[in-house]
Amino acid sequence: MFFDDEPHGVFFLIDNKSFYASCEAVSRGLNPLKVPLVVLSEAENTNGGLILATSPEAKHLFHLKANVSRKRDLPNDPRLWVVPPRMNLYIQRNLQINQIFHQFTTEKEFWPYSIDESILDMTRTWRLFGNSVREVARLIQKTVRQKLGLYTTVGIGDNPVQAKLALDLYAKHNHELIGEIHYETVPDKIWSITELTDVWGIGPRMAKRLNRLQIHNMYELAHTNPYLLKQQLGIIGSQLFATAWGIDRAQVTEPTKVKEASWVIRKYCHEIILTKSKLKPSLKKLGNRWRRGFGTTINWRGVYR
């Protein structure tokens, strides 16, 4: 293959498992993986109440889904904890987690992707903490767990997009909560994906557009003429083609310009004013996700240049 000229590094994409629900569980002295708990917002714009987060046990027992299930879907079961959102708590925990990450890499090589996901460029520092990359990932998990009581999942890759796919497709579904994708495993780990919507960046609408181009899985996407993809889908087509090959030329260390020093979130929690002095640059991407799940493609800074 033609990967020799592509950037090679060691990247971790770390997700705080069921973050809001886990923060609420730990604050009550409960195990976040074993207690059935949901975070329910009853703000005016939630149409009667929206579940913002569910613990793994709530998903397993009651088949509830964050940002999909409504208050009316909640079972009348005494085992289920139903709690209101506390955004300030989640922000505080996020900053504490980021401080832990800074123990393993420099601030320049650390990028918060959202309130519950972060990218760490470990290329220069991982050897200081273990004999293998996977051992270092386990050490970070253990440190967060011991200090904050939270569980983390880790995707490992040679670049950020590989780490993101490893996180979503593999780390979240095994007992170690660690997944890996590297250039040499792209055919096995990416091309084997048969459901397009399982892949970051491909929502239901984009999947339908790809289907119209006779693309139904990641192998077919990787082997479609990239010029045709760009012609039919624009720059998104080029990005998706690069994703199918596990290619990402983004530089985590490049500075990001923040247009606003403060902003207001009025989505599903009560209004919260976020200021630069409170959040520092670490939460500048907070408003991007809000875990809404509309199938909208999220453009990653600098990906696929």
Residue 288 lies in a domain: no
What pLDDT is stored for residue 70 in this prediction?
86
Catalytic-labelled residue, pool 24, 57, 109, 117? 117
The domain boundary residue, chosen from 202, 222, 244: 244
Residue 121 lies in a domain: no
Name the phi and psi angles at 303, rounded to 5: -70, 140
pLDDT bracket for residue 257 (50, 70, 90): low
Q: d(Cα 37, Cα 203) in Å, to the nearest integer? A: 27
Query: How many structural domains compose the chain?
Result: 2
The domain boundary residue, chosen from 85, 108, 136: 85
The domain boundary residue, chosen from 50, 67, 85: 85
pLDDT bracket for residue 215 (50, 70, 90): very high
pLDDT digit string, tens, across residues 110-148 = 998 889 999 999 999 999 999 999 999 999 999 999 999
Crossing angle of helices 160-169 and 235-244, rounded to 10°:
70
Greater confidence, 33 or 295?
Answer: 33
pLDDT bracket for residue 254 (50, 70, 90): low
CATH number at residue 195: 1.10.150.20
CB neighbours (10 Å) of residue 226?
Answer: 15
Q: pTM (2 decimals)?
A: 0.81
Range of the domain at 42: 20-85
pLDDT digit string, tens, across residues 287-301 = 443 333 333 333 343
Least confident residue range of 70-84, 139-153, 215-229: 70-84
User: Which strands make up the sheet holding 110-112, listed edge to edge?
Assistant: 110-112, 117-121, 11-16, 152-157, 178-181
User: Residue 155 forms beta bridges with which residues?
Assistant: 13, 179
Strands in 20-163 per DSSP E: 37-41, 50-54, 81-83, 110-112, 117-121, 152-157
Residue 213 lies in a domain: yes
**Paired sense of beta strands 37-41 and 81-83, if any:** parallel
Q: Check whether 281 has a pLDDT greater than 70.
A: no
Q: DSSP letter string over 257-283?
A: --S-SEEEE-SSSSPEEEEHHHHGGGG
Q: DSSP letter string over 129-178?
A: T-SSHHHHHHHHHHHHHHHH---EEEEEESSHHHHHHHHHHTGGGSTT-E
Question: Is 117 annotated in the active site?
Answer: yes
pLDDT digit string, tens, across residues 85-114 = 999 999 999 999 999 999 999 989 999 888
Q: d(Cα 104, Cα 119) in Å, to the nearest integer? A: 12
Residue 223 lies in a domain: yes
